[in-house]
Amino acid sequence: MKTNSRNLYLIPYAAWIALFVVAPIVLIVYYSFRDIEGNWSLSNYAHFFTPVYMRMTLSSFWYALLITLFSLLVAYPTAYLLTKAKHKQLWLLLIILPSWVNLLLKAYAFIGLFGTYGFANAFLESVGLGRQQILFTDFSFVFVSVYIFIPFMLLPIFNSLEELNPTLIQAARDLGASPWTTFRRVVFPLTIDGVKSGCQAVFIPALSLFMITRLIAGNRVITLGTAIEQHFLVTQDWGMGATIAVFLVIVMAVIMAVTGRRRRGARG
Amino acid sequence: MNARAKGRGGWSWANLYLIAVFVILYAPILYLVYYSFNAGGTMHGYDGFTLEWYGEVFSDTRLLIIVLNTFVIALFSSAISTALGVVGALAIHKVRRLQAKNALLSLNNVLIVNPDVVIGASFLILFTMIGLKLGFGSVLVSHIAFSVPIVVLMVLPKLQEMNATLIDAARDLGASGWQVLSKVVLPFIKPGIFAGFFMALTYSLDDFAVTFFVTGNGFSTLSVEIYSRARQGVSLSINALSTLLFLFTILLVIGYYLINRRSGKITEAGARP
Amino acid sequence: MTDSTIIRFDKVTLQYDGDDAVLSDVSFEIEHGKFYTLLGPSGCGKTTILRLIAGFIQPTQGDIYLSGRRINDVPANKRQVNTVFQDYALFPHLNVYENVAFGLRIKKMKQAAIDAKVKEALRFVNLTGYENREIREMSGGQRQRVAIARAIVNEPEVLLLDEPLSALDLKLRTEMQVELRELQRRLGITFIFVTHDQEEALAMSDEIFVLNQGRIEQSGTPTDIYDEPINRFVADFIGESNILPAVMVRDYLVEFAGREFECVDGGFHPGENVEIVIRPEDLEITAPGEGKLKIRVDSLLFRGVHYEIVGSDEDGNRWLVHSTRKAKVGDEIGLDFEPEAIHIMRFGESEEDFDKRIEEFTEVGDED
């Protein structure tokens, strides 16, 4: 419209985008093409496609997939039951509250809980299973990760369940569908958007965890996140770290593009 | 009759499941709190009540300075990022072409969906390139940077909720451009601004990964400090500190809840990493 | 242009790139102290005219004058006009008092003066005592009044009202019509009222502008427009009517439905093709064979104040009759009407020519 004054707000905001969104990604890409002596080279990429890194990438994806799957399995019924509960807003607040507690503290708590003399082992002993090594295992890594990601999976699912028009369920029942059929044919398809954004909110961070791997998995599990941290802060091989980061950015972009487009399509 | 009995049974199973999830979610936190009063000095075998660890927290000057640093960073970064984020939301709102708007929104969301490790690593490169010394400054700048998009996302829906005729009405009544902003737009989006500030505050307080990359040697925040102490093993002063932080978090959430009570939706606040 | 002219549009066109013109070549004058209505279907450009006057948009071509001064480039906040918006646009974060005081505070008026003016404005709209209410506590009708008070407290020369009654229910709307008319008389300022409701326009206005597709089709007093619509669009839009093709045999004699009728319009070519309008309430039911026309009743609806009868004559023309007398479906009835009831419309006649011809040739004056 002619009356519009120029959009002056764009100046500081565009500056922020340029400096902290565009520049860092450009720099990461730039560094991924530099070898450890600072020469232009593709050696980082060549290195990335060796079996060592490929195995690490595969196991990262495998763990992220497991974490996402278990989060979904726990979060969906929880969200579903929450929408049915009497004081659902209060319940929801109570379930989200732990997610506001510093991540480090929760991870630290599990060191105590899963420790050799911790509560978990005391429990196992009392039911006659005896002490087990829990800390520094794949199990503890996946368990703690799922614990941390549950709220992120739960919220979008809860929201999409809340948006669901209850008369649709009544309509399905009216047309003769059993509760299970109603869920399978009506409720789940209509909340698939929430499931997708929940999976997105869990899978991408799960792929790049490094703090939990260090504290809980005790370096037994090496993920792409751990590798980046290792290269940047320990071995100082920024080029290799940047290469893995570029890979993560690409994976993220692909996931965003795929889930984003489908969602738009489903709505239209 | 049958259906009703079944329904009631389902209800109780449902509650049992919710309670189980609830217990598992709170167990670690309560475990920490419980052992923070343990005279025994380990996270197993309760040897009697003590406040010794709390005393240790309050006499640990290094830790207290780190707590102070953390809060200073959080307050400054959330204040500045709120200002920037409001400007950003206004900028996006003002763009009319849908394509340009979507492009801006996608760029805005990059720092939200990008893994922390990648953000931390790329900021480390950025700061090294432009010669910013790692420490207070670099941590502050990176916290501002990753909080801006959250504020934008909290403010933008409020702007979209605002009817465009409100601005026409203000101009019709003689308000200049600045007066329209200060007397109509900003008061209208105030809940969004508060929510954004609050989210930025908690993002900053809780951030570990990004800070870990850009913190350098001399400077530390709580998350980084807890990480390095936890790697050395269990120390009950961390438990005491967690208890205090947990209480503080509850206060923050209650505060946020009260601010947002009018809209009655906690879900908007969301969980945080 | 007379002394009492307050707003003048001079060949105003508004067009967005590549689209059809929203307004094309619109010229009109608005006088001081009258109640004007811009009437037309949605998308006809009536709200656009209001926004041009308020200054929210600027014309692509042409000039707009306020009190003799060209105001094309004067921003909205510097214009001596105020608007009552369709959705009221009350500020939700301010209470009733602060909403009304908004414009005065912008002008940096003293608190005591603001107090007095706000109180008076609220008294004007019968909202005394509501100062401290929040907007969300007010009903639709009350919000409407706050919006009016907020506008008139600034003592504008022109008050613009953009379909302000459309959100109210029928009873409240009728009440507010009376109140608005009364308010305009008391304030003595110009009201420009936008609506798509022809009954509202007829009931309230001193003058009506009928708009269609970005052009003014006809302007005049409610009776002018109702009795002498310039063309089929206006006749159709303002009230229900029977519109038939006809031929002017000569001045004051018209032929339609296979017969010749006396009429009161002149200034035509002999044999010219025209259209005639007869309003349904001007048709009187008689015994078959006694009236000027004979129709067979196809349907009958009871409308409360009258029966709505639809019938057809031998040529197949459809006739709509409003009568207090009942008729039976399938019966034949006669229809009678006065020569004055026939209004003749020339194809493609401009408003100027139309007015001139009506003045010159219409035989009967205002005595009926």
Cβ(C185)–Cβ(C219) below 8 Å: no
Cβ(B166)–Cβ(B184) below 8 Å: yes
Arithmetic mean of pLDDT, B181-202: 91
pLDDT at A10: 92
Q: Which residue has the tokens 């329904």?
A: B7
* Tokens read off for B29: 């936190």
Going by pLDDT thresholds of 50, 70 and 90, the confidence category of residue B273 is very low
Question: In the predicted model, is pLDDT for residue B5 greater than 70?
Answer: no
pLDDT at A32: 93
B98-116 residue pLDDT tens: 899 999 998 998 898 888 9
Does the beta carbon of B255 lie under 8 angstroms from any beta carbon of chain A?
no
Domains and CATH numbers, chain B: 61-260 (1.10.3720.10)
Question: B177 to chain C, minimum CA–CA distance in Å?
Answer: 9
CATH superfamily ID and name for C284-336: Nucleic acid-binding proteins (2.40.50.140)
Chain B residues near residue C78 by CB distance under 8 angstroms? 174
Residues 6 or more apart from A75 whose CB is under 8 A from it? A150, A153, A154, A157, A198
Cα B47-B51-B54 angle, rounded to 5 deg: 125
- Cα gap B126→C194, rounded to integer Å: 58
Arithmetic mean of pLDDT, A43-57: 91
Radius of gyration (C-alpha) of chain B in whole angstroms:
23
A181-220 residue pLDDT tens: 888 888 999 999 899 989 988 998 898 888 888 888 777 7
Cβ(A114)–Cβ(A134) below 8 Å: yes
Does the beta carbon of A98 lie under 8 angstroms from any beta carbon of chain B?
yes
Chain C residues near residue B192 by CB distance under 8 angstroms? none
Question: B213 to chain A, minimum CA–CA distance in Å?
Answer: 7
CB–CB of C89 and B163 under 8 A? yes
**Chain C residues with CB-CB distance to A under 8 A?**
56-58
- Cα gap B134→B220, rounded to integer Å: 11
Question: C215 to chain B, minimum CA–CA distance in Å?
Answer: 25
* Tokens read off for B254: 């209650």
Proportion of chain C above pLDDT 90, given as a percent = 64
Arithmetic mean of pLDDT, C225-251: 90
Proportion of chain C above pLDDT 70, given as a percent = 98
Chain B residues near residue C54 by CB distance under 8 angstroms? 168, 172
B56-110 residue pLDDT tens: 889 989 989 999 999 999 999 999 999 999 999 999 999 988 899 999 998 998 8
Cα C63-C67-C72 angle, rounded to 5 deg: 30
CB–CB of A2 and C57 under 8 A? yes
B114-160 residue pLDDT tens: 889 999 999 999 999 999 999 999 999 999 999 999 999 999 999 99
pLDDT at C168: 85
Question: In the predicted model, is pLDDT for residue B267 greater than 50?
Answer: no
- Among A25-29, B58-62, C21-25, top mean pLDDT goes to A25-29
Q: Report the topology of domain C5-227.
A: Rossmann fold (3.40.50)
CB–CB of A100 and B202 under 8 A? yes
What mean pLDDT is reported for chain A?
85
- Cα gap C309→C300, rounded to integer Å: 5
Arithmetic mean of pLDDT, A158-171: 88
Whole-model pTM over 0.90: no
Provide the 3-class DSSP secondary structure of residue C332. strand
pLDDT at A147: 93
Question: In the predicted model, is pLDDT for residue B257 greater than 80?
Answer: no
Going by pLDDT thresholds of 50, 70 and 90, the confidence category of residue B42 is confident
Going by pLDDT thresholds of 50, 70 and 90, the confidence category of residue A36 is confident
CB–CB of B17 and A200 under 8 A? no
b/e map A81-104, b = 16+ CB within 10 Å: bbbeeeeeeebbbebbbbbbbbbb
pLDDT at A256: 81
- The continuous run of DSSP H or E covering C299 comes out as strand C293-302
Domains and CATH numbers, chain A: 10-95+132-267 (1.10.3720.10)
Question: B271 to chain A, minimum CA–CA distance in Å?
Answer: 6
Q: How many residue contacts between A and B have a Cβ separation below 8 Å?
A: 244
C165-208 residue pLDDT tens: 888 888 888 988 999 999 999 999 999 999 999 989 999 999 99
pLDDT at B84: 96
Domain boundaries, given as residue ranges, for chain C? 5-227, 244-277+341-368, 284-336
CB–CB of A155 and B271 under 8 A? yes
Chains in contact with B, where contact means 3 or more Cβ–Cβ distances below 8 Å, are A, C
Question: A256 to chain B, minimum CA–CA distance in Å?
Answer: 9
CB–CB of B172 and C77 under 8 A? yes
Q: Taking the mean position of all CA atoms in its chain, how far away is CA C230?
A: 14
